[in-house]
Amino acid sequence: MRLAPIVFAFCLALAAVPAAAQPDQAPPPPAPQRGGPDWYQAQLTELSTVLGGAHYLRILCQGRGDQRWRDYMKGVIDREPAQRNNLVAGFNAGFREQEARYDHCDTYASQTEAELRARGLRIANGLSARR
């Protein structure tokens, strides 16, 4: 499976960062049939959006030299080149969404980045289970 290395790398990246408690959130809208091509595309797009938001928050709090999530996104694009345009658009949308919410690093920005990491891990695990 092409995404197995992505999931493994994502898990390794998450292991180095402590998780934060997640507040209750509204359930997501119904997704396409699990495992089908529409579901797969939706999950890839959601993952790229999560990574874009996490990237913004990470550089906001850790500095522009920290490119962990951008580099991870490059790996996803390398493994899914046919999805490049959608992945880039999702990453940029996630980045802009968090940029509009946070203009400085504080406890809330750090917590949101941790929540996005946890969400990204759930998505990546779901993609790896698609086999």
pLDDT 10s digits, 50-88: 999 999 999 999 998 888 899 999 999 999 999 999 999
> Residue 2 pLDDT > 80, yes or no?
no
pLDDT attached to residue 126: 87
Range with the poorest average pLDDT among 32-46, 80-94, 97-111, 114-128: 32-46
Q: Note whether 54 and 73 are within 8 A (CB).
A: no
Phi, psi of 65 (to 5 degrees): -70, -15
> Residue 6 pLDDT > 80, yes or no?
no
pLDDT attached to residue 71: 92
Range with the poorest average pLDDT among 18-27, 57-66, 102-111: 18-27
- Both tokens of 37, joined, read 């091509």
| Count of CB atoms situated within 10 Å of the CB of 110 | 18
Whether the full predicted model's pTM is greater than 0.85, yes or no, is no
Q: Note whether 73 and 51 are within 8 A (CB).
A: yes
- Both tokens of 130, joined, read 């698609």
pLDDT attached to residue 13: 63
Closest CA to 70 of 45, 46, 85, 87: 87
> Residue 104 pLDDT > 80, yes or no?
yes
Using alpha carbons, list the distances in angstroms from residue 57 to 3, 41, 88, 99, 121. 25, 25, 17, 8, 17
